[in-house]
Structure 1
Amino acid sequence: MMKIYSNAVFLIILLAGCQSPKKKYDFTFFKWNIRESYYLKFNSSDTLYHINTYRLEEQTSFTILDDDERERIQIALDNLSFPKEKEFSNSLIEDGETNAFYLKDDKQYQQLKIHGHQGPDQFWLFGKTLTNIKNQHNFMKINKKFDLSGIEKMVAPPILFIQK
């Protein structure tokens, strides 16, 4: 009996050690439309950060994801296939919705900006999923700043001042 127990424990430890490690991501999502403007920051932990930039009033807050939500985001990031084009937009629509995705892992970064119902459907669906997760949570304000320079280059064109 003791031998069966020790073999079972050994097998469990062996199988647990054979699981491939999950990728660690630094992921930022940006959403803008006439009613809201915000970033969501996810780094493969159970914390989701919300940086509200609506009306140029930047406020950072956070929430704790449950295991299912964290796993859904992780699986989606594992399976996202970024296209070669970095931007899809409809020039006839100036006030639609813009979503931007910035994904950085150990080796590289990938980015995509979609606007006006243009771009890959899987990114529109992922953006909707992230919005739904955000809307199901109450966020707590914190005093924390993030480096958003990678994604801000995509979503905020530089402001040029013309000298008189």
Structure 2
Amino acid sequence: VAYFDDPRYRKDKRGSGIVKFRYRTLEDEYRIREDEYRTREEDLEDEYGSPENEYRTREEEYQTLEDKYRTLEDEYETLEDEYGILEEEYETLEDEYGIPEGEYRTLEEDSEAEYGSPENEYRTREDEYGILEEDSEEDSEDEYWTLEEDSEEDSEGRIRSPQEDSILKKEGL
């Protein structure tokens, strides 16, 4: 039996019908298996996706993330530059107003030394008010109890029996 890739088969133009039949059969089997392989490959690509497509997708995602990172990095650099500018302006203003600020603090300290601190004065007045309020409450309580005791004593003296009332009426009092 000779096969289709056998060099003798090609030289032998006469060839038997069996060899030709075998050649066609093998060729048909090869085509069928090749079609089955392609079908399986396509099914697998449909089911799992081709590695190339997956790689491209991930590469695009990576590129997108890289672009976002660059954008954020640029924004950060811009903000950093703005901060540097503001910091320089602040230093300039600090240099300009540093002396008057020192003078103001000196005047404030002198004023506090001469006239006292408003905060301390407020606290002192608050303490005095608290003491006065406590004294006032104590005095009010004492006065209340004294008045109540006096009232009880007065009312005790005023309560009369009905007999006393009738005697006093007769006497004209």
TM-score range, shorter chain: under 0.3
User: If you compute each CA radius of gyration, which structure gives the higher value, 1 or 2?
Assistant: 2
TM-score, normalising length: structure 1 = 0.22
TM-score, normalising length: structure 2 = 0.21
Between Structure 1 and Structure 2, the one with more helix by share is 2
Between Structure 1 and Structure 2, the one with more strand by share is 1
**Higher RCO (C-alpha under 8 Å, 6+ residues apart):** 1
